[in-house]
């Protein structure tokens, strides 16, 4: 009887731990979705301050963007990149994240998918392109923040040129 009670109690403890992990993952996923919803709103408004609230402050952030240099280290460098990027566009920008995949635990997570950027450059040239993204996230002071971002486009290996014409 005592052995059965011990097995029963251990089983309950394991199941409760699994339920807690699932609830944490679900809550984390919802919080990360909300973070990117806020990022999208700020991005489309060309609001650099709003965009930067997505990212870890200080030197923690490392980003591999589609523009040079090879990497941006720290929030200040990435803020400058965003400011320069937004200045290249006239009128509204649109960003679509149709298939974001999120995996998250209590304090670490990642998101990835395809994103479509569209808008008009300051010289009047329309832009519509698909890119790939991967986001590494971490809780910083209790809030989800991107600590690593990787944006890329496929290249044609024979020419070394970006393939901006591809669509999913």
DSSP string, 110-121: EEEEEEEEEEEE
Between CA 114 and CA 116 the distance in angstroms is 7
Q: What average pLDDT does the segment 57-73 reach?
A: 96
Between CA 164 and CA 114 the distance in angstroms is 13
Contact between 131 and 114 (Cβ < 8 Å): yes
The residues spanned by each domain of the chain are 27-162
Q: Mention every residue, 6+ apart, whose C-beta is less than 8 A from residue 127.
A: 89, 117, 118, 119, 120, 121
**CATH number assigned to the domain covering 27-162:** 3.10.450.50
Contact between 30 and 38 (Cβ < 8 Å): no
Give the pLDDT of residue 93: 97
Mean pLDDT of the chain: 91
Q: pLDDT tens-digit profile of 92-108?
A: 999 999 999 999 999 99
Q: Mention every residue, 6+ apart, whose C-beta is less than 8 A from residue 164.
A: 129, 153
pLDDT grade for 25, boundaries at 50, 70 and 90: confident
Pairing of strands 108-121, 101-104: antiparallel
| Closest alpha carbon to 119 in 53, 46, 55 | 46
Between CA 37 and CA 19 the distance in angstroms is 27
Q: What percent of the chain has pLDDT over 90?
A: 84
Give the pLDDT of residue 8: 54
Contact between 122 and 97 (Cβ < 8 Å): no
Per-residue pLDDT for 112 more than 70?
Answer: yes
């Amino acid at each position: 009887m005592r052995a059965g009670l011990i097995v029963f109690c251990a089983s309950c403890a394991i199941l409760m731990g699994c339920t807690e992990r699932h609830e944490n993952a679900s809550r984390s996923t919802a919080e990360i979705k909300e973070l990117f919803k806020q990022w999208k709103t700020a991005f489309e408004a060309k609001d650099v301050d709003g965009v930067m609230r997505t990212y870890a402050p200080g030197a923690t952030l490392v980003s591999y963007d589609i523009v040079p240099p090879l990497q941006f280290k720290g929030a200040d460098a990435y803020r400058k990149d965003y400011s320069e990027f937004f200045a290249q566009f006239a009128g509204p920008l649109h960003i679509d994240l149709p298939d974001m995949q999120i995996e998250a635990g209590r304090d670490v997570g990642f998101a990835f998918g395809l994103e479509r950027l569209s808008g008009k450059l300051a010289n009047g040239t329309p832009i519509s392109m698909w890119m790939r993204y991967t986001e590494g996230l971490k809780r910083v002071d209790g809030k989800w923040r991107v600590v690593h971002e990787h944006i890329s486009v496929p290249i044609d290996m024979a020419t070394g040129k970006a393939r901006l014409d591809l669509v999913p």
